[in-house]
């Protein structure tokens, strides 16, 4: 069943056209990876889906409803959660307080503070530590846990591995893998092509705001993605 439909979506930053005529669908339980070079429009696209950036054309349909004009806080209530690039935690609050603030949305579902700590065991001993004092990996795990506390139908992850040491990335992705195994629907932006292809069921490559490759992660090769990534030639899968 289709959960998200993006239809001919465009988005601008002033005169800059950051996203151009993007169309794709995401089914329930699917993991879609958005890849592309810096400036390809991936973050803007994710923010447009979440309601943090107003599109200039096209529409976003979520769970059968057109949400293009819906404000971001109502999209959270409908079941969309964004983990933004840079995490953006409340630094003066503890890990547990960051989780409980997000839980105030009161959407029904499986996610509780204890469930988050079970999924991200590295956070359990840190529940009373201020977010500003956490390492990058600990902050990323907290940010994902905070999003899960809204009990989303769709989880949007922007630059999961950005700025993290390789061993920390693996720890975070181990937890993401558990979310995928549990049936969470995820759209993730990831610079690490190998990591994206390993966890995603489908991949979309963007170039200059456009979709230039789309296919099942199991059917596209790293070479095809790399060529699309750098615009070496047209690609389709």
**pLDDT tens for residues 38-85?**
899 999 999 999 999 999 999 999 999 999 999 999 999 999 999 998
Query: Tell me, what's the pLDDT at 226?
Result: 87
Residue for token digits 């591995």? 161
Residue-wise pLDDT tens digits, 84-105? 987 789 999 999 999 999 987 6
Query: What pLDDT is attached to residue 237?
Result: 45
Q: Which of 48-52, 59-63, 146-150, 188-192 has the lowest mean pLDDT?
A: 188-192
Section 187-204 average pLDDT: 91
Give me the pLDDT at residue 106, please: 66
Query: Would you state the pLDDT for residue 160?
Result: 86
Residue 147: CA atoms inside 13 Å, Cβ hemisphere, count?
A: 29
The arithmetic mean of pLDDT across residues 145-151, rounded, is 95
- 8 vs 108, higher pLDDT: 8
Mean pLDDT of all residues belonging to the chain: 92
Best CA proximity match to 196, nearest among 171, 216, 211, 168: 216
Q: What percent of the chain has pLDDT over 70?
A: 97
- Mean pLDDT to the nearest integer, 177-196: 92
So what's the pLDDT on residue 233? 56
Q: What is the model's pLDDT at position 30?
A: 97
Work out the average pLDDT over 29-36: 96
Which residues in 106-129 are b (16+ Cβ under 10 Å) and which e?
Answer: ebeeebebeebbebbebbeebbee
CA distances (Å), origin 141, targets 119, 128, 203, 222, 232: 9, 15, 23, 28, 36
pLDDT at residue 44, rounded to an integer: 97
* Structural domains in the chain, sorted by start: 2-89+152-230 (3.40.50.300)
Question: Structure pTM?
Answer: 0.92
């Amino acid at each position: 069943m289709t959960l998200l439909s993006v239809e001919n979506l465009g988005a601008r930053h002033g005169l800059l056209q950051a996203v151009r005529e993007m169309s794709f669908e995401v089914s329930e339980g699917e993991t879609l990876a958005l890849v592309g070079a810096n400036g390809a429009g991936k973050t803007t696209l994710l923010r447009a889906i979440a309601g943090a950036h107003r599109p200039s054309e096209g529409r976003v349909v979520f769970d059968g409803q057109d949400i293009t004009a819906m404000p971001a806080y109502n999209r959270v209530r409908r079941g969309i959660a964004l983990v933004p690039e840079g995490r953006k935690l409340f630094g003066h609050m503890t890990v547990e307080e960051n989780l409980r603030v997000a839980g105030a949305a009161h959407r029904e579902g499986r996610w509780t503070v204890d469930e988050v700590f079970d999924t991200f065991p590295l956070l359990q001993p840190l529940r009373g530590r201020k977010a500003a004092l956490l390492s990058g990996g600990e902050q990323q795990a907290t940010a994902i846990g905070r999003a899960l506390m809204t009990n989303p139908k769709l989880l949007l992850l922007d630059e999961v591995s950005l700025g993290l040491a390789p061993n920390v990335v693996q720890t975070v992705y181990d937890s993401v893998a558990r979310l995928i195994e549990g049936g969470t629907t995820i759209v993730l932006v990831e610079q690490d092509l190998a990591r994206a292809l390993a966890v995603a069921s489908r991949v979309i490559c963007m170039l200059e705001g456009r979709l230039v490759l789309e296919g099942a992660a199991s059917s596209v090769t790293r070479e095809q993605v790399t060529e699309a990534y750098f615009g070496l030639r047209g690609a389709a899968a």
